[in-house]
Structure 1
Amino acid sequence: MIDSILGAIHWNVSPEIFSIGSFEVRYYTMCFLLAFICSYVLMLRIFKRENKPQELLDQFSIYIFVGTLLGARLGHCLFYEFDYYKNHPLEMILPFTFVNGKFTLTGFHGLASHGGAAGILVGIFLFCRKTKTDFLWITDRLVIVIPLAGAFVRIGNFFNSEIIGLPTDLPWAVVFERIDAVPRHPAQLYEALAYVMIFIILWNLYHRKPLLKPGFIFGLFLILLFGARFGLEFFKENQEAFEDNMKYNMGQLLSLPFIAMGVYLLLRPYKGQPVKRK
């Protein structure tokens, strides 16, 4: 609802859609699944456009799903809460716990997008090695749909009232009542909107520019997405206390290598002929 005094949007939606005992279904989980479903449908269109078999995409999707989930989970545990997980290593990869002999399904509460990006790259490398697929060919196509998937994930973060923004008096400020009574930037929605715009740019580039050197779309993706991530971190609260004394937070520091990789891919000399796409 809208608060008539503060002029802020009050957000107090439960992150759970429903629960049965210790089992629960969350909006975040549904957004995560929608991210993969939409990515698969769009990648299937690309594969059919380039006369690639759906079986290859099915195999590729398994590598990406596992790489994303494990990378994002390990990234969070290692970069943001290492002091805890170094003493609880099994909780890094197990979505359940046994407390006093009682089984509890916990899910993965803590996923880092930078870790997910690294996991995706590892998954692509392993897939390419097994299937003899060209690494830059597959990345130039996969990164087209990744921003849209990222937008779904950030909407899931909004439902969870997490990754909240800094206080603001702007008219579209949001009060996350599950956190506090402070009007804040809806940083999750800023990021989701940025990712949708990046998806539109890359999708149109792929269809309108049939002659691009291998790695160009991949490099542009890295610059746009992680550049947006770096800038939008200035509107967010730090996720962990140790970041409070840092000039640039962990999310920004982890974005820099990806941006540098993107600049290299755009500027690197290429002596071959660009591959023409349909």
Structure 2
Amino acid sequence: MQTAAELFALLPYPVFDPVAFSIGPVSVRWYGLAYVAGILLAWQIAERMVASERLWPDNRLPMEKGALGDFIVWATLGIVLGGRLGYVLIYDLDRTLSDPLSALQIWHGGMSFHGGLAGTLIAMLLFARRNGIRTWSLIDTVCSVAPVGIFFGRIANFINGELWGRAADVPWAMVFPTGGPVPRHPSQLYEAGMEGVLLLLVLQVLAWRTDVLKHPGRLAGIFACGYGLARIVSEFFREPDANLGYLGGGWLTMGMILSLPLILAGIWAMVQAGRQAPPKGEAARGNGGQE
């Protein structure tokens, strides 16, 4: 008699056509649409935050109206260039050296979160300095909605049938087209849930229900720690890249290693936020002042 896991494994992975639609010779892929959707939705959520004075230090808006829209172009470049460069250098260097043009084939997938984060951080630092915006407030804003993009990115990984999980016997295990005949964890969906939905809910509740944004850097630190911990947990279900395999005695992965500095950076950001002088608005609010 077949087990429940074996019966579920008979259900094939829902293979998606990577092309969402075509206009003449131009093909629009789900992978690209996922990133566009993530960026646009994150932008809309962030716009509501930066328009609410009560959330910010001294009850002052962190930036002028429209500034966040201008930053979207910078953020997009940081995500795409940083994400792709990070993936090439960390996970796919050998293939890129043998076929340099493969580095440009972003539509086939292959984006590093840590590389995209680094690219976006550079974009934030440059944009804040150029436009006279409080750097930490911009970083807090972006970090508070970053899980939206992460969620859509993981869904794109699932659609592409890439970055699948380790062999599993759970009832929802799937046989991925490029993962051999073995049922595997749909780890992309685990990551979409933990790094995307759950982390977004935590950050948004903190942003709107507490004074965390009045302490610049604190919410960014919470995001960094939250993502790092969620990524480490998800790595126990995700198959490591074949060209890297397991590290550190057969259980450590590159994703875990890259997440540790992120957690340390998050702790540092929260500590430095706590050392800053209390915002002036805190005293007024504590004495019954308006928010």
TM-score normalised by the shorter chain: which range applies? 0.7 to 0.9
Number of residue pairs matched? 265
Partner of 2:130: 130
Look up the equivalent residue of 1:220 and give its one-letter code.
I
Structure 2 stretches lacking a partner, 5+ long:
54-60, 283-290
Deviation at 1:6, TM superposition (A): 2.4
Partner of 1:202: 203
Deviation at 1:264, TM superposition (A): 1.3
Q: In proportion to residue count, which structure has more helix?
A: 2
Look up the equivalent residue of 2:74 and give its one-letter code.
Y
Paired with 2:100 and 2:176, the residues of 1 have a C-alpha distance of 32
Partner of 2:76: 65
Paired with 1:135 and 1:38, the residues of 2 have a C-alpha distance of 22
Paired with 2:170 and 2:130, the residues of 1 have a C-alpha distance of 52
Query: Identity percentage over the alignment?
Result: 32
Deviation at 1:89, TM superposition (A): 4.9
Partner of 1:235: 237
Look up the equivalent residue of 1:46 and give its one-letter code.
M
Q: Which of 77, 89, 104 matches 2:88? A: 77
Partner of 2:66: 55
Compute the TM-score of the two structures, normalised by the length of structure 2.
0.83
Matched residue SS, 2:39: helix
Partner of 1:186: 186
Partner of 2:152: 152
Determine if the alignment matches structure 1 residue 15 to structure 2 residue 14: no
Matched residue SS, 1:177: coil
Partner of 2:139: 139
Deviation at 1:26, TM superposition (A): 1.9
Paired with 2:154 and 2:66, the residues of 1 have a C-alpha distance of 30
Q: Which of 278, 285, 288 matches 1:273? A: 278
Partner of 1:102: none
Q: What is the correspondence of 1:216-235 to structure 2 with a 5 Å cutoff?
A: 216-235=218-237
Deviation at 1:85, TM superposition (A): 2.5
When residues 271 and 238 of structure 1 are mapped into structure 2, their CA distance, relative to the original with a 3 A threshold, is closer
CA contact (8 A) 2:136 2:216 kept: yes
CA contact (8 A) 1:151 1:196 kept: yes
Which stretch shifts more, 170-179 or 212-221? Answer: 170-179
Look up the equivalent residue of 1:74 and give its one-letter code.
L
CA contact (8 A) 1:72 1:116 kept: yes
Partner of 2:45: 42
Query: What root-mean-square deviation, in Å, do the aligned CA atoms of Structure 1 and Structure 2 show?
Result: 2.4
Look up the equivalent residue of 2:275 and give its one-letter code.
Y
Matched residue SS, 1:256: helix
Paired with 1:4 and 1:252, the residues of 2 have a C-alpha distance of 28
Deviations 1:54-82 (A, max 9, x none): 32112211111111110001001111112
Look up the equivalent residue of 2:151 and give its one-letter code.
A
CA contact (8 A) 2:232 2:255 kept: yes
When residues 210 and 119 of structure 1 are mapped into structure 2, their CA distance, relative to the original with a 3 A threshold, is same
Q: What is the correspondence of 1:249-264 to structure 2 with a 5 Å cutoff?
A: 249-264=253-268
Q: In proportion to residue count, which structure has more strand?
A: 1
Matched residue SS, 2:110: coil
Deviation at 1:20, TM superposition (A): 6.4
Look up the equivalent residue of 1:44 and give its one-letter code.
E
Paired with 1:22 and 1:42, the residues of 2 have a C-alpha distance of 34
Paired with 2:182 and 2:65, the residues of 1 have a C-alpha distance of 49
Paired with 2:98 and 2:107, the residues of 1 have a C-alpha distance of 19
Look up the equivalent residue of 1:54 and give its one-letter code.
K
Look up the equivalent residue of 1:201 and give its one-letter code.
V
When residues 24 and 185 of structure 1 are mapped into structure 2, their CA distance, relative to the original with a 3 A threshold, is same
CA contact (8 A) 1:165 1:235 kept: yes
Look up the equivalent residue of 2:224 and give its one-letter code.
L
Deviation at 1:14, TM superposition (A): 2.5
Deviations 1:195-252 (A, max 9, x none): 2111001101011112542211010100001111112111111123233454422111
Deviation at 1:276, TM superposition (A): 5.1
Which stretch shifts more, 125-134 or 184-193? Answer: 125-134
CA contact (8 A) 1:214 1:275 kept: no
When residues 88 and 134 of structure 1 are mapped into structure 2, their CA distance, relative to the original with a 3 A threshold, is farther
Paired with 2:280 and 2:180, the residues of 1 have a C-alpha distance of 53
